[in-house]
Structure 1
Amino acid sequence: MLIVMPSPPPHPLEHGVVLAEVRKVRRAGVVRLRELALPVVAEVARDLPRGDGELPGGPVEKVLRLAVSRMGGGTLQTAAEYSLGLAQGTRDWPAADRRRRAAQVYGVSVERFRKHHEFMVLGQVAEQIVQVAGRTPVTDAPAPAPYDRIPAAHRALRVRVERRTVPVTVHVHSVDLLRDMDVVVSPTNTYFALPAPYKSSISATLRRAGARRDPTGGLVEDRVHDELGSWAARHGAPGRAALPGTVAVTSAGALADQGIRRIYHVAVAVPRPETNDYDVQPADITRGVARVFALLAEEARRYDPPLRSVCLPLLGAGRGGLTPLESFGALWTAVEAELARGADWDIHFVVRRHARADLLERLLTSVGED
Structure 2
Amino acid sequence: MRVVLAPDSFKGSATAEGVVRALEEGLRRADPSIETLARPMADGGEGTLAAFLSATAGAVRHPLVVEGPAGPAHASWVELPDRTGVVELAAVSGIELLAGTLRPWDAHTIGVGQAIADALDHGVERLLVGIGSSASTDAGTGLLTALGARFLTAAGRPVAPGARGLRSVATVDVSRLRTLPAGGVSVLCDVRSLLTGETGAARVFGPQKGFTDAECRRVDGDLHAFAALLSRALPAARPDAPGAGAAGGAGFALSGWGGVMRSGAAAVAERVGLGAAIAGADLVVTGEGRFDGQSARGKVAQFVRDAAAEAGVPAVVVAGQVSLDADTSGFAEVVSLTDLAGSSVDARRDPSRWLRRAGGVLAERLRP
TM-score for both structures, normalised by structure 1: 0.27
TM-score for both structures, normalised by structure 2: 0.27
> Whose radius of gyration is greater, 1 or 2?
1
Higher relative contact order (CA 8 A, sep 6+): 2
